[in-house]
């Protein structure tokens, strides 16, 4: 009986390991493969021979692994060369897979990972190699096309909305309050920042303004809005995506940051501080605080959505079944059947349709002034944050497990 392998790539999420466990459980139920291997640190690790047998870990360890945030198999941001440029690393990878009698390769990741799946599926088909390549969706950014949402997003959204509520209350305790700015991730899209629209007290949204990359950011309009609201309420609560851009399409923070990752994406962050300085320098008030949520958005399992954790498990489970049906070069996508009650199913989408495309937050769910989210967006967001997972505990703290050699 042949084997399969699974690996993780790109930025972590709080529920990414649940997809690995879903695949393991599917194999136990279906008994399709002799062994489920894990590639440590994604494609890059596999090319270096970093492969472990997941069956060597106990059921208890695997269960703890399911409730462990971040990429428990390690990750990478490794971009394979175009097939037209060189097939050397493709040949090396396929040789490693064949040497381990691997007939199915599963990659848990986002946009760039699906690019890898598309390339490998194409090359395997071209060379007549019988290995199936299936992508399993993951990204807190929720920016993959053709899937209703991505595992990892629901938990990040829940954390953002919860933190918005908590920081709003903290920033509203004085007679003379100030302005609070909450900065979320979201390089190209505003899904994460928009999720703060769920944060409500007495049925009313606590955020005065929410700014997304989908709408051009105008400094003059921003300062006028903030000044008017501050003079009226003596406090302002702002949520902003790190990726907001000006009318020319330039990232607000990219002007002062030249750092890029291996895929050429600008390394952002610090827009909250930038807006804070704008407000202070304009003379509105000196009482301004900004909080950059940073990596907490993708590793806060203590504030995860149980539905998100289960869906991550389910797409991993379905991936193995789809591979057994002979599919290759596809990503498992989530199709929403209804919101209340929430119901979804899984479909296959060609990985090359996902790769290098971006699903933007719908502009028809942004208000006319471009500084808040419409009420209709709640129907999309709310089902995705339901439930609280029962974590594995040790000495009253979460117990975690990462996989290593």
Task: Enumerate residues 6+ apart whose C-beta is below 8 A from 317.
Answer: 22, 23, 25, 26
Cβ contact 190:241 at 8 Å = yes
Distances (CA, A) of 119 to 123, 133, 185: 6, 10, 28
User: What's phi and psi for 221, nearest 5 deg?
Assistant: -60, -40
- b/e map 135-156, b = 16+ CB within 10 Å: bbbbbbbbbbbbbbbbbbbbbb
DSSP-assigned letter for residue 372: S
Q: Under a CB-based contact definition with an 8 Å cutoff, are residues 301 and 390 in contact?
A: no
Tell me the backbone φ, ψ of residue 43, rounded to 5 degrees.
-55, -40
SS3 105: strand
Quick check: 20 and 72 in contact, CB under 8 A? yes
d(CA 182, CA 144): 24
How far apart CA 148 and CA 19 sit, in angstroms, is: 17
Backbone angles phi, psi at 108, to 5 degrees: -95, 115
- Confirm whether 221 is a catalytic residue: no
Q: Give the helix/strand (H/E) hosting 138.
A: none
> Residue 110 has which token pair?
């986002």
Q: Which alpha helices (DSSP H) does 128-270 contain, by range?
A: 153-170, 191-194, 219-233
Strands of 110-174, DSSP E: 132-137
Within 8 A by CB and 6+ apart from 49, the residues are: 96
Report how far residue 117's alpha carbon sits from residue 130's, in angstroms, rounded to the nearest whole number.
15
* Residue 119 near residue 90 (C-beta atoms within 8 A): yes
Q: One of 59, 91, 115, 141 is an active-site residue; which one?
A: 141
Q: Is-cis flag, bond preceding 85, omega within 30?
A: no
Catalytic residue annotation: 141
């Amino acid at each position: 009986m042949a084997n399969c392998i699974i690996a993780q790539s790109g930025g972590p999420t709080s529920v990414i390991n649940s997809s690995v466990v879903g695949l393991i459980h599917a194999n136990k139920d279906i008994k399709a493969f002799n062994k489920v291997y894990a590639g440590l640190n994604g494609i890059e690790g596999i090319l270096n021979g970093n492969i472990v047998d997941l069956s060597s870990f106990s059921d208890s360890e695997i269960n703890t692994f399911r409730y462990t945030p971040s990429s428990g198999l390690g990750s990478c941001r490794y971009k394979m060369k175009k097939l037209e440029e060189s097939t050397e690393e493709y040949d090396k990878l396929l040789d490693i897979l064949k040497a381990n009698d691997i007939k199915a390769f599963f990659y848990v990741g986002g946009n760039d990972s699906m690019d890898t799946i598309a390339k490998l599926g194409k090359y395997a088909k071209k060379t007549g190699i019988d290995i199936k390549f299936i992508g399993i969706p993951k990204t807190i950014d929720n920016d993959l096309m053709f899937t209703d949402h991505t595992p990892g997003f629901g938990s990040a959204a829940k954390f953002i909305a919860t933190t918005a509520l908590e920081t709003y209350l903290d920033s509203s305790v004085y007679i003379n309050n100030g302005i609070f700015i909450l900065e979320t991730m979201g390089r190209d899209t505003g899904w994460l920042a928009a999720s703060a629209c769920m944060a409500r007290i007495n049925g009313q949204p606590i955020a005065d303004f929410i700014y997304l990359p989908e709408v051009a950011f105008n400094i003059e309009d921003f300062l006028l809005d903030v000044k008017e609201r501050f003079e009226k309420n003596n406090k302002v609560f702002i949520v902003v995506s790190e990726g907001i851009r000006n009318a020319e399409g330039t990232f607000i923070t990219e002007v002062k940051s030249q750092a890029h990752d291996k895929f050429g994406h600008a390394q952002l962050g610090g827009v909250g501080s930038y807006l804070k300085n704008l407000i202070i320098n304009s003379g509105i008030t000196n009482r301004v605080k900004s909080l950059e949520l940073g990596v907490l958005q993708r590793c806060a399992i203590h504030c995860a959505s149980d539905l998100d954790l289960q869906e991550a498990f389910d797409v991993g489970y379905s991936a193995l079944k789809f591979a057994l049906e002979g599919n290759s070069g596809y990503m498992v996508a989530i199709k929403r059947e209804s919101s209340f009650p929430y119901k979804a199913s899984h479909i296959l989408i060609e990985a090359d349709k996902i790769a290098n495309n971006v699903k933007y937050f719908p502009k028809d769910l942004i208000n006319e002034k471009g500084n808040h989210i419409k009420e209709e967006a709640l129907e999309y967001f709310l089902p995705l944050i339901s439930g609280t997972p029962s974590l594995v505990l040790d000495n009253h703290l979460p117990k975690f497990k990462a996989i290593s050699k």
